[in-house]
Structure formats: C-alpha cells, structure tokens
Amino acid sequence: MKKRDYYEVLGVSRESDDSEIKKAYRQLAMKHHPDRNPGNKDAEERFKEAAEAYAVLADREKRARYDRYGFAGVGSSVGEPFGGFDPDVFSGFEDILGNLFGFSVGDLFGGQGGRARGSGARRGADLRYDLELELIEAAHGIEKEIHVPRTEACEDCKGTGSRGGARVACRPCGGRGQVVRQQGFFTLSQTCGACRGTGEVVKDPCPACRGEGRRRTTRHIKVRVPPGVETGVRLRMTGEGEGGSRGGRPGDLYVALSVREHPDFRRDGPHLFTAAALTITQAVLGSEIEVAALEGTARLSIPPGTQSGSTFTLRGRGLPALDGGPRGDLHVTVAIRVPTRMSRKQRELFESLREIEDAADAPPRDLFNRVKDIFS
C-alpha cells in the first residue's frame, strides 16, 4: 500500500488537537481491527496504517518533526510490520478499548472466552505536572527537579502482589476472568470482581503492598527544559507516570509548562517588546541609551528628531525559536518624558527656547498687511 499523509490517514487537519487525533484513531481502529474483519487483508492494512499514523501524531516531538520534514523527520522505524510499532501505540489502543468496553487488548488476541488468562498486566496511568518558569529560564533553558507523587511497582514482590510470585486460578470465575449469569432467555457475562478479569488471584499477598503490587511514593525527577519554550508546551517523560499493575509497564508523565509574565517585556513567540523613556534633549539632539534586555541591558542609538512612539528593533536580542529557527528580535518603543519639576536654570532655558520658537513661528510682517488690505 502506498504510504499516505498521516493526517489524511486519520482524516484530520493539521490544526487538530490531541483529543481530535485520538478520537479519529479510535474510530478507525475499531472499524478495521482484524478481529472484526477476519481474513480481510485490506482492513488489516488500514488498521496498521492508522496505528502508524497515530504513533507519530500522538507524540508532540514526532509530530513536530513530521510537520517540518515529512516522513524523513520520523525515521525508518515508522512503518514497520505489525508488531514493530512503539508500544505506546498499543497501550493507547488498550486505553481506548478499556474506556469503551471495560476490556484490554488481551481480550481480543486470545485466551479463554476472549480473556488472556493469567496476563492481568495493565499499563499505569499517565500523570500531569504543572511547571511554572521565569521568562529568563524559558529563554535559556534549564534543568529543574520536580517532586511527583505516584504509585510504583512494589520492590518487595516486583509488582506481582505475591510474596513468592505464585498466583492461582480464581475460584468465583473458574479462572476464566468472567462470570456468566443466566437471566431468563439471556446469558449475561461480566468481568469477575474477585480477580478483576485476570482469571488469577494472589496466593500469598505481599505484606509490603498488601497484594496490590504497587506502593505510593514521591519520585524526584530532573526535567530538562529546552530553550525557547512558552506557555502551553508539554514535555513527555516516558515511563515516569503511575506504575503498572501485575507487571504492566508504567504510564508517562506530561510536564505542562507555563511562563510567568515579566514586568519589563511582552512576548510574542520568540520576539520581545519593551518600552524606554527619552528626555526632550535626547529626542531632539539624538543620544545613545541603555534599554532592558534579557541579558541585562542593551545599547540603543536614538537619532536626532525622534518622535514619541517610535519603535526601534534590536535584531537577535529576543528568545531562541523552539523549532530551531532564527532567534527573535527585541522591539523598543520610546516615549518622551516631560519634566514635572525644573530648576530655575532649566526654566530660564525653556523660556528662552520658547521666545526663539515664537519668533521663528511668527508670520512675516508683510503677511499682516496683505490680510488687512483684503478685509478693508
């Protein structure tokens, strides 16, 4: 099958958010799943194609590379045969099925009565951590240590929940993972509450975790924030979410970034905007002033005759671009500061200047005579 654009595969636009992409993938995965289309090679190919597209577009970093460079930006690993995808694709599919119907991927790929007996492994939940940064930290990048409360696999029982690792068939469901009840003409089947659908129970519960296989703890994690981030960017840390149960792999941690407003700057992407005040003489005669910049201050040349509200640009004095593009600029808007208090000498000078301006602005004498002749 010819490789198609990933957005086209999922039927979404390039502006679609994560929820829209996940929804589109869910619909395609359910429609083309091999268990729903036995022997249908075309459906199987569509299922693989959708999973491949989702593996890229559901990952912020891979999606950014794909948007910029196309298939070349996501490497040769994308497009491997079924079974060679990033496990995140299948864990995401498992989450979708679990939310809709209460069963896992194991239900579809074998086991008695559709249940993969004895597996019971479940991926841990994803976590979110909100991290606030100063503008200077966002500009230069920084490494932060964060403290994340989460559950982890019990070290004593290696996440099995059993002291010796032994598990036995669940009696209420007979090891099937499901309990079947007859109501009139109908046969109802539901997940066994005793074993939670695994078909097995712990024989000798671990005393450290009381048979749960997980324990509550606080994890100290170092987060590397790249230069140029802005509010709304999310960093994904694979495997740093909640621990899985019954030996399942952990979820992921998403660090949501927000950048505090700075008193001296307004930000627009990689560009910064600030203001500076000029004295009347600086505006009239020209000058060189210092203005606020990320690295402290910057020198700005003011030409003679500068008007209040004029904007000057210092190239490359903004923030680095997150996508690797050119560094932003610093835009400085100037305003003329009129003194409210003056010394006697200053007032005398301004009064002398006013007399000069009045004389320069006075109309010529012969103009008065011509106007007088018109109205006489």
Interatomic CA distance for residues 332 and 272, integer angstroms: 9
Question: Which residues are CB-neighbours of 328 under 8 A, at least 6 positions away?
Answer: 269, 270, 271, 272, 316, 318, 319, 320, 321
For residues 352 and 174, the model is more confident at 352
Question: Residue 73 is encoded by which pair of tokens?
Answer: 């930006």
The region of weakest confidence among 63-77, 222-236, 298-312, 362-376 is: 362-376
Q: Are strands 178-183 and 186-191 parallel, antiparallel or unpaired?
A: antiparallel
At how many degrees (to 10) do helices 18-32 and 87-101 cross?
Answer: 80
Q: What average pLDDT does this structure show over 80-98?
A: 42
Interatomic CA distance for residues 118 and 198, integer angstroms: 6
Quickly list H helices, the chain.
6-10, 18-32, 41-57, 60-69, 87-101, 135-140, 280-285, 344-361, 365-375
The model carries a pTM of 0.54
Question: Can you say whether residue 22 is alpha, beta or left, with left for phi > 0 and alpha for psi between -120 and 50 degrees?
Answer: alpha
pLDDT tens digit string along 5-35? 899 999 999 888 888 999 999 999 889 887 7
pLDDT at 136: 93
* pLDDT bucket at 143, cuts 50 / 70 / 90: very high
- Contact between 200 and 120 under an 8 Å Cβ cutoff? The reply is yes
pLDDT tens digit string along 294-350? 888 999 999 999 999 999 999 999 999 887 789 999 999 999 998 888 899 988 888
Domains of the chain listed by start with CATH number: 1-102 (1.10.287.110), 266-338 (2.60.260.20)
At how many degrees (to 10) do helices 87-101 and 41-57 cross?
Answer: 110
* pLDDT bucket at 370, cuts 50 / 70 / 90: low
pLDDT tens digit string along 120-133? 567 888 999 999 99
Question: Which residues are CB-neighbours of 165 under 8 A, at least 6 positions away?
Answer: 157, 158
* pLDDT bucket at 68, cuts 50 / 70 / 90: confident
| Neighbour-count burial of 118, counting CB atoms closer than 10 A to its CB (0-12 exposed, 13-18 middle, 19+ buried) | middle
